[in-house]
Amino acid sequence: MTKEEKYSLAKWAMDHALEKGAQQVSVSIANSQSSSVEVRDEKIDKLEQAIQSGLSIRLFVDRKYSAHSTNRMKKKDLARFIEEAIEGTKFLSEDEFRTLPEPALYYKGGEKPLDTIDLDFSKVNPQTKIDLAFAIEKEVLEKDERIISVSASYYDDLNERVMVTSNGFEGHSSSSQFGLNASVSVKSDDARPESYWGESAIFFDKLKKEDIGKIALKRAIDKIGQDKIASGKMAMVVENRQVGRIFGPLISALMGSAIQQKNSFLIDKLGEKIVSDKLTITDDPFIIGGRGSRLFDGEGLATKKRTVFEQGVLKTYYIDTYYGKKLEMDPTSGGTTNLVFETGNKDVEALIASVEKGILVAGFNGGNCNGTTGDFSYGIEGFLIENGKITQAISEMNITGNMKNLWSNIGEIGNDVNQSSSWLTPSILFQDVDFSGI
Amino acid sequence: MNVNRRNFIKTSGMFAAGSVILPPFVQSCQNVQITDNVKSYLNHFEVSTEMLQKVIATAMSKGGDYADLFFEHKTTNSLGLEDGKVNRAYSNIDFGVGIRVLKGDQTGFAYSETISLNDMQNAAKMAANIANTKATFNPGAVNEKTPSDFYKIVNKWDDVSVKDKVPFVQKINDKVFALDEKVIKVNAFLNDETSYVLFFNSEGRLTYDYRPMISFGVVCIMQKGDQVENAYSARSFRKGFEWLDDNLIDELSKEAIDKTNILFEATKPKAGEMPVVMGAGGSGILLHEAIGHTFEADFNRKGTSIFSNKMGKKVAGDFINIIDDGTLENNRGSINIDDEGNDVQRTYLVKDGILNSYLHDKISANYYKVAPTGNGRRESFRNIPIPRMRATYMENGTDSKEDIISNVDYGVYVDNFSNGQVQIGAGDFTFFVKSGYLIEKGKLTQPIKDINIIGNGPQALSDISMAANDFLIDNGTWTCGKDGQSVPVTCGLPTVLVKKLTVGGTNA
């Protein structure tokens, strides 16, 4: 579907809903295409290709609310789908807080594009995709006699979306992604450690296409001899790509729904210092070519650059229109865009070198965080650090604590930002973390 | 709108999967003997056996060894309660066909969201590319396979109105609030799902399944002084509307209240290795993570599982029998046929302590030259089937729960979980304990909460030293993720003692 076709169908669906009894409507139509190839044993293991499209509609009917989606896009099917949805909505309870956003807060158009899509997406030759995957596999094959299994894959996807609302919003967005992955298993005494590495990018030309297999192999071999060590309180360095796992619960606690439903450990904390003054984070939607860049959010609200934490002081919550009304707060947009950390001056190696005794966390294994209290416990694997050097691979251990304490005990923020995510996390050193092992 | 208004409102589900069919398709040149059952599925997807054979021929046109078509029409309806009212509903319709071609253990796959001969042929051409010769495929006879019938229901969710579902969600809110003054918020949900599946492959097998699912649950949020805690209870089955009743509401409400109340007194154990008593029921997560995934044959075929090359070897005590079962009546993990059209079984993974079978999909069954076990599953028509669990559980032992607890000097008793994970090659598995108890000198003492437990699969399996005779399946909303695909499963266990696992906690 072209952009114009999507707009036309979305407006038709909106008009149909208004005609059949909805007072307010928001419709979005998205389509995507993707392909992937996975290779193993110098053969193609899996070849996948997909094109999909779908319509989502949010209905506000007699002060009642519902939301629906379908991939049956013929007008005849959609008409009936919308009519049934409206009838069903009438059986719900009224909810005075449900409305579309204030039109004044909508994105109005005009800003420069944020370069979130590769306009040459379709020009990548299918054979090139296969060759790239084989090249990654080749970096590993026969490089070490302990290798049991290698697989490498290429994937890409392109997403395009338009949205219209009955109180005046119209907008479209698009994004693309290209990626390469390798996964390697090696033999040790009684286990088969496995590791994985991947790179991804919005633009094919910017995708890092080398060393992915090499890194996966090194990470797998480094794990040989993994064992647990004695329990204790120690320093913890978390690799940049792994920080998201322990940072996520801080963001979840800032969501309007969590605040209003008392499922947050950061209720009524705006303006207070809640974590280490080493933590300063900006939410910046306008980074050109940023993985989380966008001009408007899922409701159509114009995005704004804002500070989330400033030297440990909480500066904002993530409030959408509905929970804004419930909480009597102004909506700020209900989700993160690009999170930019104020960085220090050490990379992960330098952080490790600064630790007398501690653990480098290279991966998490399960675990969870209680959103109400911030209490967490996660399985980890990584490496023992002694006198600034890695001395042993460790696994089968847990870290346990509370999010507020953990983030108050930052030793140092690194400078090695993970560019492959919208959360631009550097490696971070934490002090006094409870590890459980033997 | 050509539907009778009154009838329409009565049946507004939101969406009745069955009723979204367009006017009945007239089958042309239907030259094979098939039953009305399978005809209704062909009509539902507006295809004929001739069309299926044409698409299969295209899929096989480049020399593939095997091809299959998986048609699916799934509707999901969800009601939500927040701040005292059933004030939100969500629904989704997903419709399409996945086309797969195998060449040895190589897979080509594409899908189409529109079901016309032309669109299916295009997808089949893409999938065919996994092979690269030229071949002519002559479709054999259509061989209809009647699926099993593991989930008989009375009232299909297709026929139930929003109006009739709303009162149950409202009642559970009111019940939870009535049970305890500390309750400050309640969230409740009722999700029903109906899936129609039609399957055809290059061997001529033609089969189908109707898969209902209901999940009903409540989250209870309580406050005592400054302390806020929450917990939830939920059940999920392949059952119909008749399943909802007041007893169920009472049971779920009480469970949510009890699970929340225990948290106010709970602390954390000291960190380290200790004996862990796994309570009957949800502790089956131990089997799912520690053993189940590592027994999935794709990992073993590739040599990446810690259990690779352990077939026929002793992996646990003689009294240990572990089963993965797709045949339990109305169970969330049951399926009448797997997503590769195969019969579903009750499969012994471990029999008398010996590794007895992996969990197979078609590719791995061919590789190991064994019969398929009915574990080839996929999230939807958009995905390739892979070996997956169904209901994974352990048979009863001969000890009693009391004996097992009294055997522990210092350890933990756990029976309430939120999630788990495993590393296939290292064998390290984890599960997150929402609540449990300390065991001190053979007695349950202090409640504990929010700790992760980690162990190593083969070690943990051989460390199960006692099992009670109180086997229970947990019918919660268990969902298993693998390769980005989610499928519904369940698990179960009698009370067992694991001699040693590493428990998250604090260090003095």
Q: In percent, how much of chain B has pLDDT > 70?
A: 94
Is pTM beyond 0.90 here?
Answer: yes
- Amino acid identity for residue B234 in this structure: A
For A71, the closest of B86, B113, B126 (CB atoms) is B113
pLDDT at B14 (0 to 100): 61
Among B185, B187, B507, the residue with its CB nearest the CB of A232 is B507
In a domain, B190, yes or no: yes
State residue A76's pLDDT score. Answer: 94
Is B126 near chain A, with CB under 8 Å?
yes
- A284 and A251 fall within a common domain: yes
Q: Is the pLDDT of residue A341 over 50?
A: yes
- Rounded to the nearest angstrom, the minimum Cα separation between A225 and chain B is 10
Tokens of residue A354, six digits:
């600064």
Q: What is the pLDDT of residue A391?
A: 96
Question: What is the percentage of chain A residues whose pLDDT exceeds 90?
Answer: 96
Q: How does the average pLDDT of chain A come out, rounded?
A: 96
Question: Which residues of chain A does B95 touch, with a Cβ-Cβ cutoff of 8 Å?
Answer: 70-72
Beta bridge partners of B447: B437
Helix (H, G, I), strand (E, B) or coil at B245: coil
Q: At which of B215, B236, B263 does a domain end? A: B215
Q: Looking at residues A288-305, what average pLDDT do you find?
A: 96
Measured CA to CA, the distance from residue B430 to residue A396 in angstroms comes to: 9
Q: What distance in Å separates the CA atoms of residue A304 and residue A282, rounded to the nearest whole number? A: 11
User: Which positions ≥6 away from A231 have C-beta within 8 Å?
Assistant: A434, A435, A436, A437, A438, B271, B272, B507
Q: What is the pLDDT of residues B219-230, one digit of tens each?
A: 999 999 999 999
- Same domain for B198 and B281: no
pLDDT at A437 over 80: yes
Task: Say whether B56 sits in a helix, a strand or coil.
Answer: helix
The rounded mean pLDDT for chain B is 91
CA-to-CA dists, residue A170 to A8, A16, A56, A57, A161, angstroms:
11, 17, 15, 14, 11
Whether B305 and chain A come into contact, CB under 8 Å, resolves to yes
Exposure letters B320-339 (e unless 16+ CB within 10 A, then b)? bbbbbbbbbebbbbbbbbbb
Decide if A377 touches B, using CB distance below 8 A: yes
- Whether B180 and B300 map to the same domain: the answer is no
Query: Where does the pLDDT of residue B32 fall: very low under 50, low under 70, confident under 90, or very high at 90 and above?
Result: low
pLDDT at residue B10, as a whole number: 42
B363 at A interface, C-beta within 8 A = no
Amino acid B138: pLDDT:
85
Which residue of B lies nearest to A192 if distances are taken between CA atoms? B425
Contact call for A373 and B450, based on CB within 8 A: yes
Report B:7-46 residues touching A (Cβ under 8 A): 8-9, 12-16, 20, 22
Report whether pLDDT(B25) > 50.
Answer: no
pLDDT at B68: 97
Could you give the CA distance from residue B151 to residue B239 in angstroms, rounded to a whole number? 7
Of A157, A192, A222, at which residue does a domain stop? A222
* Helices B117-128, B49-59: crossing angle, 10 deg rounding: 30
Q: Quick one: average pLDDT of B336-356?
A: 96
Do A86 and A160 reside in the same domain of the chain?
yes
- Which residue do the tokens 């690799």 mark? A239
Return the residue matching tokens 């109006």. Answer: B163
Kindly state the percentage of chain B with pLDDT values over 90. Answer: 81
- At residue B33 the predicted structure's pLDDT band, cuts being 50, 70 and 90, is confident
Whether B392 is covered by a domain: the verdict is: yes
The values of phi and psi at residue B60, to 5°, are -90, 0
Mean pLDDT computed over B369-377: 94
Alpha helix (H) ranges present in A264-357? 321-327, 348-353
The CA distances from residue B501 to A251, B285, B401, B412, in Å, are: 31, 14, 19, 10
Shared domain for A196 and A254, answered yes or no, is no
Q: Do B426 and A85 touch (CB under 8 A)?
A: no
User: Quick check: is B284 in a domain?
Assistant: yes
Domain end, chosen from B215, B230, B251, is at: B215
Asked if B94's CB is within 8 angstroms of A50's CB, the reply is no
User: Is residue A5 less than 8 Å (CB to CB) from chain B?
Assistant: no
Residue-wise pLDDT for A363-414, tens only, equals 999 999 999 999 999 999 999 999 999 999 999 999 999 999 999 999 999 9
> How many Cβ atoms from other residues are within 10 Å of residue A381's Cβ?
25
Residues of A in contact with B113 (CB under 8 A): 51-53, 71-73
Give per-residue pLDDT as tens, B75-93.
Answer: 999 999 999 999 999 999 9
Domain check: are B283 and B176 in the same one? no
Query: Count of A–B CB contacts within 8 Å?
Result: 274
Residue of A nearest to B114 (CA): A72
Give yes or no for residue A83 having a pLDDT over 50.
yes
**Chain segment B358-372, per-residue pLDDT in tens:** 999 999 999 999 999
> Distance (Å, rounded) from C-alpha B293 to C-alpha B297?
9
Domain containing B323 equals: 272-503
How far, CA to CA in Å, does B110 sit from each of A1, A153, A297, B100, B121?
19, 17, 31, 7, 11
For residue A312, the model assigns a pLDDT of: 97
3-state helix, strand, coil in chain B (%, to 5): 25, 40, 35
B308 shares its domain with B450? yes
The distance of Cα B367 from the centroid of its chain, to the nearest Å, equals 25
Residue window 245-304, chain A: list those with CB within 8 Å of chain B: 261-263
> In 3-state terms, what secondary structure has residue A179?
strand
Residue of chain A with shortest Cα separation from B451: A377
Same domain, A284 and A425: yes
Cβ <8 Å between A47 and B93: no
Which of A81, A91, A400 lies at the smallest CB-CB distance from B505? Answer: A400
> Residue B115 is part of a domain; what is its CATH number?
3.30.2290.10
Residue B332 lies in a domain: yes
A286 and A416 share one domain: yes
pLDDT over 60 at B4, yes or no = no
Q: By the CB < 8 Å criterion, does B87 face chain A?
A: yes
pLDDT class for B134, splitting at 50, 70, 90? confident
Indicate which of B3, B220, B364, B430 best probes the interface with A, i.e. most A CBs within 10 Å of its own CB.
Answer: B430
- Chain centre to alpha carbon of residue B450: 24
Q: What is the DSSP letter of A265?
A: S
What is the tens place of the pLDDT at every residue in A45-79? 999 999 999 999 999 999 999 999 999 999 999 99
pLDDT confidence of residue B24:
41
Contacts (Cβ under 8 Å, ≥6 apart) of B32: B49, B141, B142
* pLDDT-based confidence at residue B131 (cuts at 50, 70, 90): very high
- Residue that finishes a domain, picked among B176, B196, B215: B215
pLDDT in tens, B145-162: 999 999 999 999 989 999
Q: Are residues B168 and B285 in the same domain?
A: no
Contact B470, A418 (CB under 8 A): no
Q: Select from A222, A359, A398 the residue whose CB has the most chain B CBs within 10 Å, as the one to mutate to test that interface.
A: A398
Nearest beta carbon to residue A398 from set B89, B305, B454: B454
pLDDT band at B99 (very low <50, low <70, confident <90, very high): very high
Domain of residue A8: give its range: 3-222
**Separation of alpha carbons A161 and A159, rounded Å:** 7
Q: Report yes or no: A432 at the B interface, CB cutoff 8 Å.
A: no
**Element (DSSP H or E) covering residue B122:** helix B117-128
Domain assignment present for residue B247? The answer is no
A51 chain-B contacts, CB cut-off 8 A: 113
Helix (H) or strand (E) holding A201: strand A194-201
- The alpha carbon of residue A260 and the mean position of all alpha carbons in its chain are separated, in whole angstroms, by 23
Domain limit, last residue, from A207, A222, A237 = A222
pLDDT at B16: 54
Helix axes B246-264, B162-179, angle to 10 degrees: 40
Residues A409, A286 share a domain = yes
Residues A304 and A399 in one domain: yes
Predicted local confidence at residue B423, as pLDDT: 87
In this predicted model, what pLDDT tens digit does every residue of B52-75 receive, in sequence order?
999 999 999 999 999 999 999 999
How many structural domains does chain A have? 2
Chain A residues with beta carbon closer than 8 angstroms to that of B289: 366
What pLDDT, on the 0 to 100 scale, is given for residue B503?
Answer: 94
Given an 8 Å threshold on Cβ–Cβ distance, is A262 in contact with B185? yes
A267 and A182 fall within a common domain: no
Q: How far is B506 from chain A (nearest CA, A)?
A: 6
Of the residues A197, A222, A247, the one at which a domain ends? A222
**Residues A179 and A149 reside in one and the same domain:** yes
Q: Is B306 on the interface with A (CB under 8 A)?
A: yes
Domain contains B404: yes
Q: Find the CATH number of the domain harbouring A126.
A: 3.30.2290.10
CB proximity A231 to B under 8 Å:
yes
> Contacts of residue A95 in chain B, CB cutoff 8 Å?
85, 87-88
Q: How many domains does chain B have?
A: 2
Per-residue pLDDT at A96 exceeds 60: yes
On whether both A50 and A159 belong to a single domain, the answer is yes
* Integer angstrom CA distances of residue A179 from A158, A201, A292, B276, B383: 12, 7, 16, 42, 19
The CA–CA distances, whole Å, from B320 to A6, B116, B461, B472, B474 equal 58, 51, 9, 15, 19
Same domain, A259 and A202: no
A286 & A326 share domain: yes
Q: Enumerate the β-bridge partners of residue A288.
A: none
